[in-house]
Structure 1
Amino acid sequence: MTATTRYSQAGDEFLFVELSEEMTLEAFFRSISITQRLRDIALAGIIEICPANASYQVRYNPDEISANELQHRLVALEQEVASQESRTLETRVIEVPVLYNDPWTHETLLRFREHHQDPSATDLEYAARINGYDTVDALIDAHSATPWFVSMVGFVAGLPFMYQMVPRERQIQVPKYLRPRTDTPKQTVGIGGCFSVIYSVRGAGGYQMFGVTPMPIYDPTGEQPHIDGSMIYFRPGDIVKHRAVNRDEYDALLIAAEKGEFKPRISPFTFDLDAFNQDPDGYARHVKEVLYEH
C-alpha cells in the first residue's frame, strides 16, 4: 500500500479506496489494475467492483467476507501491482465519430447563455480562448487528435468520463457552466474540468458542449448489436479516439444507428504506461495506427 492510499468503510457493504488526491494516469492505472486482478481471483463475497478516476469502491457481502479481510486482500493486490516490472493493460481502442459545432447543442447553448461564464461566446469559442487556441478549429483538432482514457462510467447510466492522454500542461480544461442546464441533447460530447464525456441520454448537465456523436452508447432496448446485455457500451480502461465528421456522414451514421446497424471501429490494444510516459505524442500516433490497421 502506498502512503497516499486511504480505506474507508461506507455502510455495512461497501469499502471505498482512495489511491490519490489528484487524477493522474498513474493513479488510474493502479485503480484499473487492482480492480481487474480482484475480478480475476473471483474472491467469495464480492458483489460489485467499481473503478474510478483515482479510486475504486467494492461492494461485498459481510456474511461471506469481513471488511478487514477484504482490505487485507486489496492491500496485497496493490503491492502486487506496484511490484510488476511491466505496467501494461489489455484493453481496446474505439473510434467515436463526432459532429463538432452541431446545430442541436448550438440551439441548446443559446437557451442557457445566462448560465454561462461568457454569454457572448459559444461553448467552443469560450473553451478555445481560455485554452490558448486561436480558433475553434484548432481546439477541435486538439480534442480529436489525441486519445482519451475512459477512467470511469457513471453519474447517469453509460456516461463515460475520459481523461486526455497528453502531458498535464497540454490538457484541455474548461470549467462547468456557472449553473447547470436543464437540457442537454442525447449523445452530446462535452468537457468539464479536464474530463471529456458523452451524455448517454437527454437531460440536465453542466459541461461545455462541443458536439454530438451518432454512436449509441447506452441501449436499454437491446436493439444495438454492439452493446451487450449490460446495456452499457464503454468500460473503464477503454481508449477513445474521436474523429470529426461532417453533417452528411453524421446523418448516414445516425440512420444506421436507428436501424440497429451501427458498427463501431474497434481494435484490441495493449496499453503500456511506461512507453506512453516516455513519448506521449509518439504513443498517440501508435494508438491511431493500431486502430486504423483493423
Structure 2
Amino acid sequence: MSVPSLPEKARCTYGGDEFLFVEIDEAMSLAANVRAMTIARGLQEQRPEGLLEICPANASLLLRVDPDVLDPRQLETLVRELEEQARQAVGTPLPTRIVEVPVWYQDPYTDAVVKRFREGYHQDPSGTDLDYAAAVNGLSGPEEFIRRHHEQPWLVTMVGFVAGLPFMFQLVDQEKQLQVPKYLSPRPSSTPQLTVGHGGCFGCIYSVEGAGGYQMFGLAAGPIFDPSQQAADLKESMIFFRPGDIVKFRPVDEEEYRLLQQQVEAGTFTYRTAAAEFDPDAALTNGEAYNRVLLEALS
C-alpha cells in the first residue's frame, strides 16, 4: 500500500467561539485517518475542562468547547502538541477491536428497493447495484465483487451523518480499492435498516431506515444502533461502532440470517469480536499480508 505524504501541519480554523476544525489533509488516506484518530484519542485522554465534544472524521476533527471555560486558541495549542506527538509516534500500534459482521448479500429486501429506484435515480436502470458495482470496477460480475468486498477487512474511519452509521475504508492497496459512484439522485425513503452500502471508496452500514444514495449490496444481521440499549452489545452505548474498529464481513445465506434474526429478537445476539493492536505502518507497507496476521485474532 503506498504511503501518502501528509501536510506538515494540520489546518485549524474556527467556527465562532465554540468550534475548532482540524483538517489533517484534503484527501482521505489511511495515514490521515490514523493521525486524526491519534489526536482524538489524545484529547480524550487529557480531556481539558471545557472541551465538550470530540468528533473525528475521515481526515479531520471537529471540536466543540464551552468558550466560558476553554478558549479555542488554547485548545489549538494542545492539538498542535498532540499532532507533533502523533508525528513522532509513527509506527506505534493503536489498540482496537476486530468485529465480524454477518451479511446476507443479494437479499430480497434491498433488492426490492433497488428495483423500485432505478429510472431517474440510477446510472444504469437495466441492472442491479451489484451488477453496476462489478462493471465499474472491471470485475466479472456480482460474485467477484462480493468476494472482493468481504475478503479483506475494513477500517471504521468515522461514525456519524446519522446516529451510529459507520463509514469504512477497505485496507487494500489503492489500485484494489472498490470505488462505486453514489446514485445520481438519492432515494427519498425506504433504504432498509442495516443495509450494507457503498459510495465512492467508502462502505457503510445504514443504522436506521430512511433516505440514502449509496449502492446497496445486502443486509447486516446484527444491530448497530439501539436507543433503548436492549441489545446485548449495546448495554454501555446505544452506538456499537467506534472509529478505529476493524470490520470483517462474513457472507451468510438466508437460513443463517434467519437464525441470527431469531437471536436478535431474543436479545441473545452478540458480535464475534477480538481485541487487537492495529499497526498502521504494517498496513501501509505489507498490505494484505498484514491483514492475514491481523485477522488471526478472530481465529
Normalised TM-score (structure 2): 0.95
Q: How far, CA to CA, are the matches of 2:90 and 2:65 in structure 1?
A: 30
Query: In the alignment, which residue of structure 2 is the partner of 1:54?
Result: 59
Which runs of no fewer than 5 residues in structure 2 stay unpaired? 1-5
What displacement does 1:273 show?
Answer: 0.9
RMSD: 1.2
Amino acid at match of 2:272: R
CA contact (8 A) 1:96 1:264 kept: yes
2:24 is the counterpart of 1:22: no
Q: Deviations over 1:230-259 (max 9, x none)?
A: 310000000000000000000000111111
Query: In the alignment, which residue of structure 1 is the partner of 2:41?
Result: 36
Q: How far, CA to CA, are the matches of 1:67 and 1:41 in structure 2?
A: 15
What displacement does 1:168 show?
Answer: 1.1
Q: How far, CA to CA, are the matches of 2:182 and 2:283 in structure 1?
A: 29
Runs of 4+ residues deviating >3 angstroms: 1-4
* 1:68-217 paired onto structure 2 within 5 Å: 68-114=73-119, 115-182=121-188, 183-217=190-224
Q: How far, CA to CA, are the matches of 1:120 and 1:286 in structure 2?
A: 41
Q: How far, CA to CA, are the matches of 1:80 and 1:20 in structure 2?
A: 17
Aligned residues: 292
What displacement does 1:2 show?
Answer: 4.5
* 1:240-279 paired onto structure 2 within 5 Å: 240-279=247-286
Q: How far, CA to CA, are the matches of 1:262 and 1:85 in structure 2?
A: 37
Cα distance 1:73–1:2, how it changes in 2: closer, same or farther (>3 A)? farther
Amino acid at match of 1:36: R
Q: Deviations over 1:29-56 (max 9, x none)?
A: 0000011011111211111101100000
Query: In the alignment, which residue of structure 1 is the partner of 2:15?
Result: 10
What displacement does 1:229 show?
Answer: 3.9
CA contact (8 A) 2:7 2:25 kept: no
Q: How far, CA to CA, are the matches of 1:290 and 1:203 in structure 2?
A: 35
What displacement does 1:86 show?
Answer: 3.1
Corresponding residue SS for 2:270: coil
Q: Deviations over 1:114-165 (max 9, x none)?
A: 1100000100000001101102111101000111000000111100000110
CA contact (8 A) 1:94 1:267 kept: yes
Corresponding residue SS for 1:267: strand
What displacement does 1:4 show?
Answer: 5.0
Q: How far, CA to CA, are the matches of 1:279 and 1:239 in structure 2?
A: 17
Q: How far, CA to CA, are the matches of 1:73 and 1:238 in structure 2?
A: 25
Q: Identity, % of aligned pairs?
A: 48
